[in-house]
Amino acid sequence: MTESVHPEKRGPAAGRPSALETEPPLLMDLERNVYLEGDRLVLVDRRRLPGEIVRVVCETAEDVARAIEDMVVQGAGDIAVTAGYGLYLASLRPGTGDREGLERAARRLKATRPTGYHLAALMDRILERIDGNPEDPPAVILSSLERALRRQREISMETGRFGETLLASGDTILTHCFAGSGLLHMLRFAREKGKDIRVFCTETRPYLQGARLTAWSVSSLGLETVLITDNMAAHFLSRGEIGKVFTAADRIARDGSVANKVGTLAIAIAAHRYGVPFYVLGYGGPDRRTEKGADIPIEERDPGEVLRFQGIPITGPRVKARYPAFDITPPELVTAVVTASGILHREGR
């Protein structure tokens, strides 16, 4: 765990990154949520938003890996860039800055979130570029991250542009978990065109990304925002109160299967049953290295995260739990995948 300390104190506490209070950032501006201060990496703790703004300071690649595992940073693209900064911190230190040390650091960082492909793909690209310019790994890594950030912004914006074309004024949409900045771009473009959109957001247990991040961000755009618990989605779909569903994806297989936050499959099944289009904001599109959904590893997180709510036990001491963090939605339940290059419709839909 992290602990709040005074800004003048430095260094990680109890083997974890240290936490510092700071001014509120722009939520979707990654450069104000994940950034360098000298040779340290600062992460705005998304577990504490929107009620409290806390900076978590990482000084080593291991600090970064633990911060990712502890859900300090959330969202597949943001996690990938954060891991890239972890590799940068490794490149600065004796014992981890050589090629062998960087490979070890990359393996550790990849292991933090095995379901998504963005993190592993970025690690591999950076290591390849270091092989092409082995004289200055820190500079190569920073250059690669600057390129990745630019590309991430472009992809998010273009995904939003294509997604906006699927919206009509008067639509009520449902989203699950934290679908990233592409969703916010989509809604912003719709509003700029005079479209009146209402958004239902699931709260997304156990970390409440939908409540703390998505609903907060959408409401900040001035749209009517309705928060529901995760088990209410089918009810509203069955009553015709939701006309379209938009989620993101941590990985899309070549066969069209979609890995996303657990609970996505249940929403897709309900949407299919009641004839509601189910769209996936796929950003960069399918992972060419993943043939089918069965090839996607599902991260199983600490069951204690289900047994507690914000650190408070919610059941008896003998109760066990399971926490698969993701599930796989088969392609036949997906109406279309929205990418930065266009909208990919499944045959026959």
> Where residue 200 sits, what CATH number does that domain have?
3.40.50.10470
* pLDDT band, residue 25 (cuts 50/70/90): very low
Radius of gyration of the chain (CA): 20
209-239 pLDDT, tens digit per residue, is 999 999 999 999 999 999 999 999 999 999 9
Mean pLDDT of 326-344: 98
Last residue of a domain, one of 119, 154, 189: 154
Q: Is the pLDDT of residue 285 over 80?
A: yes
Q: 68 and 19 in one domain?
A: yes
Asked whether residue 251 carries a pLDDT value surpassing 80, the answer given is yes
Residues 245 and 210 in one domain: yes
Residue type present at position 112: T
* Same domain (yes/no): 129, 195: no
pLDDT value for 14: 41
The predicted pLDDT at position 347 comes to 61
Cβ–Cβ under 8 Å, residues 204 and 228: no
Residues tagged active-site: 250
The confidence score (pLDDT) of residue 29 equals 63
Band the pLDDT of 31: cuts 50, 70, 90: low
Question: How confident is the model at residue 311, as a pLDDT?
Answer: 87
144 belongs to a structural domain = yes
Residues 282 and 207 in one domain: yes
Q: How far is CA 280 from CA 55, 160, 225, 275, 308, in A?
A: 31, 11, 20, 16, 30
The whole-number average pLDDT for the span 80-90 is 97
Quick one: pLDDT at residue 198?
A: 98
Which positions ≥6 away from 289 have C-beta within 8 Å?
117
Percent of the chain with pLDDT over 70: 90
Last residue of a domain, one of 131, 154, 177: 154
70 and 134 together in one domain? yes
Domain-located, residue 55: yes
Reply yes or no: is the peptide bond before residue 50 cis, omega within 30 of 0.
yes
Q: Are both 65 and 177 inside the same structural domain? A: no
The answer on 56 and 28 residing in a single domain is yes
90 in any annotated domain: yes
285 belongs to a structural domain: yes
Quick one: 189 and 294 in the same domain? yes
pLDDT (0 to 100) of residue 20: 59
Q: What is the mean pLDDT of residues 76-96?
A: 94
Provide the residue range defining the domain that includes 285: 166-345
pLDDT band at residue 30 under the 50/70/90 scheme: low
CATH number at residue 142: 1.20.120.420
| Torsions phi, psi for 255 (to 5 deg) | -85, 0
- Which tens digits make up the pLDDT trace of 2-20? 433 323 333 334 455 666 5
Please state the separation of Cα 217 from the chain's center in Å: 14
Segment 136-153, tens digit of pLDDT: 999 999 999 999 999 999
The pTM is what?
0.90
- In this structure, the answer to whether residues 247 and 308 fall within a common structural domain is yes
Q: Do both 178 and 250 map to the same domain?
A: yes
Averaged over 149-159, what is the pLDDT?
Answer: 95
Residues 259 and 300 in one domain: yes
DSSP 142-176: HHHHHHHHHHHHHHHHHHHHHHHTT--TT-EEEE-
* Higher local confidence (pLDDT), 10 or 30: 30
Does any domain span residue 148? yes
Residue 161 in domain: no
User: How many structural domains compose the chain?
Assistant: 2
In a domain, 23, yes or no: yes
pLDDT in tens, 176-215: 999 999 999 999 999 999 999 999 999 999 999 999 999 9
Identify whether residues 132 and 229 lie together within a single domain: no
Instruction: State mean pLDDT over 306-327.
Output: 96
Note whether residue 159 is domain-resident: no
User: Which domain-ending residue is among 105, 127, 154?
Assistant: 154
Tell me the mean pLDDT in the region 278-293. 97
Pairwise pLDDT comparison (25 vs 102), residue with the higher score: 102
